[in-house]
Chain A
Amino acid sequence: MKTTNIMIVGVGGQGTLLASRILGNAVIGEGYDVKLSEVHGMSQRGGSVVTYVKFGEKVYSPIIGQGEADIVLAFELLEACRALPNLRPGGRIIVNAQSIDPMPVITGAAQYPESIVEKLREKAAVTAIDALALAKEAGNSRAVNVVLIGLMAKNTDIPYERWIDTIKTTVPPKFLDVNLKAFDLGYRCDN
């Protein structure tokens, strides 16, 4: 069996690590071998962050190379562009249609590309949603990560109940209600 490769990308501070933990725990619940690779430290300070999640019968390397990702789950538009070379032919990009200017754009040294979703659609299958709006609807703008996990969950073979059980065991009790709501908003999103 081929491994399933999911790449989660975003901006440091957006909560990509929690998203990868929910995904990882859901996957082991299904009895797969799994590896996740995170990068901590400096890049968490508002830089580009990348987490790889790989599962299947047996996983060796924890990283996902160019043309190897089945799904790119992007928390931010520019980071989706950066991860595009990692997507395999026929893979899908799931992207939060939010833009966060990197410092070179803020200082005027670089330009933020325009019409990113349209440009990505020319290269790959793309699902784009306003996860921030859904997170706010769920009750906390920080729940963007769980909205996106909900949206992605539909693209996997892992059953709905497994996701719910995993969120219950992974997320702190205080934030459980918001996160369950956020997951459902993502999962039931029509895009």
Chain B
Amino acid sequence: MAKLMIGNAAVAQGAYEAGVRVVSSYPGTPSTEITESVVQYPEVYVEWAPNEKVACEVAIGASMAGARSMTCCKHVGLNVMADPVFTVSYIGVNGGMVICVADDPGMHSSQNEQDSRHYAKAAKVAMLEPSDSAECRAFTKAAFELSERFDVPFVIRLSTRVSHSQSLVETAPRENVPLKPYEKNVAKNVMMPAMAIKRHVVVEERAKKLVEFAETTDLNRVEDNGSRIGVITSGISYMYAREALGDSVNYLKLGMAYPMPEKKIRDFAVKCEKVFVIEELDPFIEEHCKALGLEVIGKDAFTMLGEYTPAMIAKAVMGLEPAAPAQLGEDIPVRPPVMCPGCPHRGTFYVLKKLGLTVSGDIGCYTLGAAQPLASVDSTICMGASVSAALGMAKARGPEFSKKLVSVIGDSTFIHSGITALIDIVYNKGTNTVIILDNSITGMTGHQDNPTTGKTIRGEATRQVDLEQLCHAVGVDHVVVADPFDVKNFERIVREEVERDEPSVIIAQRPCALLKYVKYSGHCVVTDRCKKCRMCMKLGCPAISVKDGAVRIDPNQCNGCGLCVNVCPFGAIEKEAEA
């Protein structure tokens, strides 16, 4: 019987059935559940790597050693792994290798809206693009076989709506794919100029073969409904188009995003009077069509921004205006994400805001430290940049500026790419202060273990990276561990450390409030000693609000973490035990 699966789980199922042996990834929304789903298959070695570059290289090594391997990341993770991707394209594979990348049109949980299809073209690797969960399974399975046939890694490109939508999937048992022999092959596997020059020739020949394949494969499908209007589309856009336009147009559904066919597209287009290219984000298919000399309508009718909808397509292609929707008739306040009640980061940002420091931010739940009322983060770029960008700021403006500047970075993000930047600070005589927000988990992506948690992806105990020792080892003499909920002490430590004329690290240690072993109990109540100074309101805790002039704490939201008790200058908030 068919099972209901999110696209990500279906990718994992396809890889499992294809006999994948090694999977290494770094978490990133919307890709995380692919790797998490692999955990259910005991036959597969699966790991969280410290970052995407490492993960990709583990997968390359496994492929080289003869195993089918996979690495999964979000779009910006592909930037981190770009270096090995561009060269493994030259090396090719031994065991089939699949790279899954999940784009995030609409930026539900990302810092940019990049279109990862460009990578396939730039790195000269092949790319498939499924439209629903059944295709996620089928395309992933096919990708392993094709990877071996064409001696190239295949990329599976997903988007949030494919990754996180559930639809029905038929499953099959795992194929018995034996480990291929490992043979030393310097000409293929050692990429220095003499060999790489020869491999580049192979890459270009392979590109032609892949185009020939794209002309004939069922992955690229024509649905001829005898219409004069043609639609060329792929991925989730195909589903939107199908819903909006039904059988009233012809479709060329490109399951292979790169390379694209030429003759197939031409043959499809010449039979139509008007051809629309419907693709979210960049005009990737459109530019290919135009390079073939075809007249198509793409971004002249569709936006490059955000996600598409069936209604948008019905309007652009058929000129159908949707009926005016029902409206409340007044402003509806937005509900931005917030730090959870009990979040350890709240204590840190409360202190940073109070001290008026410039805060170089990073990627994680603590990016929410940029939102009101804590509003203390000055910048967010990419994983690890809080540390390096702060060094740049300090070098640009001098050591005095550095005394009013801190970096904030999570434990997992620090391991991912903050540590190299900390080494830069030490090596180049920076005087920065870095605050590692150690909440003992990779938080925003939904609780993944990492090298600092002491557990593997399968929950097995492993050697734990000691952040304190690590910072000492790279040459930071002043490393202080502090609890961000002990706000007075934490404030004193931050004041001291930023003043130093040498690098320092503060490890703000308190586990994520959502971790199962974190047991806050009872809840906090405001007593009649409250002077309405509203100091507690500065915490931005979703449980604390002002109703009819009085501060109140919602017992349904409060988990009794007690941070507000510590912050109240009049001792007016008390903790009440569970009734």
Question: Which residues of chain A have a CB within 8 Å of any CB of chain B?
Answer: 11-13, 24-25, 28, 33-48, 59-63, 65-67, 78-79, 81-82, 84-87, 89, 100-113, 119-120, 123-124, 132, 141
B104: nearest chain-A partner, CB-CB: A41
Asked if A103 and B325 sit within 8 Å, CB to CB, the answer is no
Question: B335: CB under 8 A from chain A?
Answer: yes
Asked if B335 and A107 sit within 8 Å, CB to CB, the answer is no
Asked if B337 and A12 sit within 8 Å, CB to CB, the answer is yes
Asked if B332 and A45 sit within 8 Å, CB to CB, the answer is no
CB of B74 to closest CB in A, whole Å:
9
Given contacts A106-B545, A107-B373, A132-B556, contact A37 B164 (CB under 8 A): yes
Question: B489: CB under 8 A from chain A?
Answer: no
Asked if B109 and A40 sit within 8 Å, CB to CB, the answer is yes
A85 to B338, CA, bound (A): 25
Given contacts A45-B365, A66-B311, A123-B326, contact A102 B109 (CB under 8 A): no
A46 to B335, CA, bound (A): 8
Which of B4, B323, B365 has the most A CB atoms < 10 Å from its CB?
Answer: B4
B338: nearest chain-A partner, CB-CB: A46
Asked if B328 and A109 sit within 8 Å, CB to CB, the answer is no
Asked if B327 and A84 sit within 8 Å, CB to CB, the answer is yes
A42: nearest chain-B partner, CB-CB: B109
B325: nearest chain-A partner, CB-CB: A85
B138 partner residues in chain A, CB cutoff 8 A: none
A67 to B326, CA, bound (A): 8
Which of A25, A84, A86 has the most B CB atoms < 10 Å from its CB?
Answer: A84
Question: B154: CB under 8 A from chain A?
Answer: no
Question: B269: CB under 8 A from chain A?
Answer: no
A12 partner residues in chain B, CB cutoff 8 A: 337
B439 partner residues in chain A, CB cutoff 8 A: none
Query: Contacting B540 at CB < 8 Å: which of A33, A42, A43, A107?
Result: A107
Asked if A78 and B326 sit within 8 Å, CB to CB, the answer is no
A81 to B132, CA, bound (A): 30
A100 to B545, CA, bound (A): 10
Asked if A84 and B4 sit within 8 Å, CB to CB, the answer is no
Given contacts A41-B29, A65-B309, contact A28 B168 (CB under 8 A): yes
A123: nearest chain-B partner, CB-CB: B326
Given A40-B446, A42-B444; 8 other pairs, CB 8 A cutoff:
A37-B165, A39-B164, A60-B240, A61-B309, A104-B334, A106-B544, A107-B372, A141-B556
- Residues 313-350 (chain B) with a chain A CB within 8 angstroms: 322-323, 325-340
Asked if B540 and A103 sit within 8 Å, CB to CB, the answer is yes
Question: B475: CB under 8 A from chain A?
Answer: no
Given contacts A34-B4, A84-B328, A132-B556, contact A46 B337 (CB under 8 A): yes
A12 to B542, CA, bound (A): 12
Question: B266: CB under 8 A from chain A?
Answer: no
Query: Contacting B338 at CB < 8 Å: which of A38, A47, A123?
Result: A47
- What per-residue 1/0 map shows which CB atoms of B156-171 lie under 8 Å from chain A? 0000110011111000
Question: B34: CB under 8 A from chain A?
Answer: no
Asked if B310 and A81 sit within 8 Å, CB to CB, the answer is no
CB of B109 to closest CB in A, whole Å:
3
